[in-house]
Amino acid sequence: MLDATEQAVLQAATGRRITGRREAVRAIAQLGGFPGNPAAGEPGVKTLWLGLQQLEAMVSGWKLAQQVR
């Protein structure tokens, strides 16, 4: 679902270890503003979309920073 760079950036950004799809979806939702408490239920499409946009921006920044070195 995620490549190695995306997974590393997602783990660093959220402080969560990503071991499966459910953890990845929850971490992406967290980037989109999902609270993650039991009362919140499951993340929606808009929250996941916002999280994916945030992740994409962070991965782009990480790749640019690697080129500068």
Q: How far apart are CA 17 and CA 56, in angstroms?
A: 18
Q: How far apart are CA 2 and CA 16, in angstroms?
A: 15
Residue 20's pLDDT is: 93
pLDDT surpasses 90 at 25: yes
- Annotated domain spans of the chain: 4-68
Burial class (CB within 10 angstroms; exposed 0-12, middle 13-18, buried 19+) of 43: buried
pLDDT surpasses 80 at 69: no
pTM, two decimal places = 0.90
**Where residue 3 falls among pLDDT bands split at 50, 70, 90?**
very high
**Where residue 38 falls among pLDDT bands split at 50, 70, 90?**
confident
